[in-house]
Amino acid sequence: MAAMGVRVLISILLLLLLAPPSLVAADDYCDNVKAVGAILSKNASASPVHFASATFGQVHDVVSALALCGGDILDGSACAGCITSWFDKQAVNTTQCARVGSNYRDCIIAYGGAAANILGAPSNATGGSGDNTPPFEDWSVRNVSVSGGAGGVPLVVGLTRELLVATSEKAAVTAPSRYATGIMDFQSVTTYPRVYSQARCTPDLPADECSACLRRLLGMVNSTMSLRMGGQMGVTRCYFRYDAFQFYSGQPLLSLPAPASAAAPTPNKSRSKSSEQQINSKIQ
């Protein structure tokens, strides 16, 4: 019996010694992902702006990560719960941890190895990692629809963009949170419902880098998203969202009435004779 036990132990040791290095490294990397998740949950929940970054591990298996809870999340325990839940469901409940992971829902989370450069400054380029990757995008299934003239849709699209630009500029200069919300009331120009907006950057970004990051995102909005009633886009360091309902808590920081001068022109199918005479006289 003792000899059999020794043989079993030797077999186990041989299996461990012969295991591919990649599997051992994967286990180490997963352990580091779990450790980073715990650090972020603890530190972000204690932060006044609910933001934290961390690096854990050795050179060959290092994990860098950051987490930012939504600007309207005021409770530290809710922030910790959001981060912990995401790491539990997305990062560690797999046979091998993903090398890079990200989330842009209730809390922004991103982690990766050394090559991902998660904690690097945002860039205006499109490359292979970090903020240089194509952004996360999502939009409503409902298209912008305005009754009373063909010019209504372009009007709403243009004014919504103005709201997003203003909200982004407000977020960039709002310290320390780098977070802003807005609303635009279309009542003076059309029957379209109010549009709500949100923009944010990670609080460790200076104002100019936050502004540049958000401008880059807004510059990538295509016709598919702009013609939808709601949409959102984000990279590791910045994010925006808009919709025709209030999706955040609290009062908006910006309230922009749609300018009356922007009202879509209503087609005039008939003109009075006196009007035609006035036009003709000017031409003559």
Is residue 281 situated within a structural domain? no
C-alpha span between 238 and 242 (Å, rounded):
14
The highest-confidence range among 5-9, 26-30, 129-133, by mean pLDDT, is 26-30
Could you tell me the residue range of the domain that residue 95 belongs to? 2-119
Same domain flag for 109 and 147: no
- pTM for this prediction: 0.76
Handedness of CA 18, 35, 33, 111 (dihedral sign): negative
- Angle at which helices 152-173 and 207-219 pack, to 10 degrees? 160
Our count of domains for the chain comes to 2
Same domain flag for 113 and 202: no
Is residue 267 situated within a structural domain? no
Same domain flag for 143 and 82: no
Same domain flag for 107 and 186: no
Same domain flag for 147 and 255: yes
Is residue 115 situated within a structural domain? yes
Is residue 178 situated within a structural domain? yes
Same domain flag for 107 and 7: yes
Q: What is the CATH number of the domain that holds 18?
A: 3.30.430.20
C-alpha span between 273 and 284 (Å, rounded):
17
Is residue 38 situated within a structural domain? yes
Is residue 284 situated within a structural domain? no
153-207 pLDDT, tens per residue? 899 999 999 999 999 999 999 999 999 999 999 877 778 899 999 999 999 999 9
DSSP states of 35-50 as a string? HHHHHHHHHHHHSTTS
77-127 pLDDT, tens per residue? 999 999 999 888 765 555 556 777 787 777 889 888 888 888 887 765 443
Same domain flag for 91 and 175: no
